[in-house]
Amino acid sequence: MAAGRGAELLRPPTSAGRATFLELFFDLAFVVALTRVSQRFADVRNDTGWALVTGFGRTLLLFLALWLIWSHTTWITSRYEPERWVIQAVVVGTMFAGLVMAVTLPRGMEERALPFAAAYLTVMVVRPLVVAAALRGHPRRLVPFRLAAWAAASAPLWLAGALGPDQLRLPLWAAALAVDYLAWAMGWPLPWLGPAAVGGWRIAGTHLADRHQQMFLIALGESILVIGMVFSGTDYSAERAAAFGIAFLTSALLWRIYFHRAGLLLTDALGRARMPARLGTATERTHLLIVLSVLVTSVGYELVIDHPYGPSRPGWLLFVVGGPVLFLVARMRLEYEIFGRVPRSQIIGLVTLLLFTSALARWVPMVGLSVVAAVLALVALLDALRSRGRPLEVTASPIGRETSGDRDSEA
């Protein structure tokens, strides 16, 4: 399949699995973007009822649009050789569009909707056409054509939402994003051609794992930035200093729980998988949830450090407790994807947090964050006891096992 015109653009089997400096440079735009997402989440932390739901939903939609841009770029650099100038130009161009989305994001659902949508559509429509042109006569050129066709189909919804009445923006953009994600899940099917399922693509699995781990660390870095910025910008007090310390401990525990076994062996699992793209598709969705959970949790840090003993509001539970709950759910999913099991420690942690939630609604935010840190510490301790003295297991993912008919001719 690698022979023919445009084959020099494909990532060869001997290509290094580690992310290139270009990709690390590309991630800088998403450092800014994740910070802006966290800021928008923080803007709704004191809302209640329908205002909280719609405010959270608007920010979630913008985050999902950003994630689609980042994730597609990661798949491009896992399929194509990032040292080729065409791919480098594509990545740098995407970085600029991502930066435009980042700087417009704080008002991306308001007066800056048009530049946000324009940057998004430029990447989704123009980028695959550039890749298809660079592939020339190679059979893989049909895949980026599919992406461009489906992105063009959802483009009227994006533009109508950006240019139309404000009250229609959320439903129109939600429909457009649903089309984009559904197209991805179905393999961008076209008449007479059928789908090109992502699970059958030929990719560098170790590279994909590396990129997912890096994005998790970027999200954690954003949470550390929030902790430092909020504490440095408020009047010093012993209560705020204690909240600062507990928030940092919580981030450290998230790091520890993620990289214990499953997160650490993600690269090995994708390297061993007979169908790495299938496992990569599953872990990509899991990391979407993990990154989102860290961003939501960081908003809880800001709330608690600002007002550690302030009045309790229903909305703060969504961030202080909801973020860690989502993290444990996603981490359990990752464990299953890597080992085919669900760890008891994380089930215990999840159930404990859910049982405490109603009681925490009556306590001050400092108590909520302290309980979350204690539960995560328990999960980390149980993980350490279970694996003490045992070597790293061999990954045994139930996903990514090849069966007949899995591979697509355009892969």
pLDDT > 90 fraction of the chain, expressed in percent and rounded:
67
pLDDT tens track for 83-133: 889 999 999 999 999 999 999 999 999 999 999 999 999 999 999 999 999
- φ/ψ bin of 310: left (φ > 0), alpha (ψ from -120 to 50), beta (otherwise): beta
Mean pLDDT of the 308-333 span? 91
Does residue 403 have a pLDDT over 80?
A: no
Q: Are 332 and 350 in contact (CB under 8 A)?
A: yes
Q: What is the dihedral of CA 313, 318, 324, 327, to 10 degrees?
A: 180
Write the DSSP symbol of residue 190: B
- Report angle CA 237, 238, 241 to the nearest 5 degrees: 90
DSSP conformation class of 341: -
**Bridge-partner residues for 222, per DSSP?**
none
Residues whose CB is less than 8 angstroms from the CB of residue 260 and which lie 6 or more positions away in sequence, other chains included? 380, 383, 384, 387
Q: Is 299 left (phi over 0), alpha (psi -120 to 50) or beta?
A: alpha
- The pLDDT score that the predictor gives to residue 176 is 98
More confident residue, 358 or 212: 212
Predicted local confidence at residue 5, as pLDDT: 56
The pLDDT assigned to 37 comes to 95
Per-residue model confidence (pLDDT) at position 405: 44
Residue 404 has what pLDDT? 41
* Candidate ranges 45-54, 74-83, 94-103; pick with highest mean pLDDT: 94-103
- Per-residue pLDDT band at 408 (split at 50, 70, 90): very low
**Contact in structure between 397 and 273 (CB atoms under 8 Å):** yes
Written as six digits, the tokens of 7 are 């084959």
For the cut 80, the answer to whether the pLDDT of residue 41 exceeds it is yes
Tell me if 56 sits within 8 A of 316, measured CB to CB: no
Closest CA to 247 of 270, 229, 265, 233: 229
Q: Give every CB contact of residue 223 below 8 A, 6+ residues apart in sequence.
A: 251, 254, 294, 295, 297, 298, 301
Helices 113-121 and 85-104: angle between axes, nearest 10 degrees: 160
The pLDDT of 339-347, averaged and rounded, is 94
pLDDT-wise least confident of 10-24, 113-127, 239-253, 258-272: 10-24
What is the rounded CA–CA span in Å between residue 40 and residue 85?
36
Looking at residue 2, its pLDDT comes to 43
Q: How far apart are CA 374 and CA 247, in angstroms?
A: 11
DSSP E strand boundaries for 166-276: none
Contact predicate 78/208, CB 8 Å: yes
Whether 273 has a pLDDT exceeding 90, the answer reads no
End-to-end alpha carbon distance in the chain? 9
Average pLDDT over residues 255-273: 91
Q: Please name the helix (run of DSSP H) or strand (run of DSSP E) that holds residue 173, with its range, or none.
A: helix 166-186
Alpha-carbon distance 157 to 163, whole Å? 10
On whether the CB atoms of residues 275 and 401 are closer than 8 A, the answer is: yes
Tallying the residues shown for the chain, one arrives at 411
Please give the average per-residue pLDDT across 186-215, as a whole number. Answer: 88
Query: Residue 140 and residue 410: Cα distance in Å, rounded?
Result: 5
208, 280 Cβ separation under 8 angstroms? yes
Average of per-residue pLDDT values in the chain: 90
Tens digits of per-residue pLDDT, 153-190? 999 999 999 999 999 999 999 999 999 999 999 999 99
Instruction: Read off the DSSP letter of residue 194.
Output: B
Distance CA 322, CA 372 (A): 10
Q: Name the pLDDT band for 15 (thresholds 50, 70, 90).
A: low
Say which amino acid occupies 110.
E
pLDDT at 34: 94
Higher model confidence: residue 118 or residue 197? 118
Residue 275 has what pLDDT?
84
d(CA 308, CA 312): 10
Exposed/middle/buried for residue 313 (C-beta within 10 Å: 0-12, 13-18, 19+):
middle
pLDDT of residue 109: 93
- Please report the domains of the chain, with CATH numbers, ordered by start residue: 7-200 (no CATH), 205-387 (1.20.1410)
What pLDDT does residue 46 have? Answer: 78
Residues 6+ apart with CB under 8 A from 74: 208, 211, 212, 284
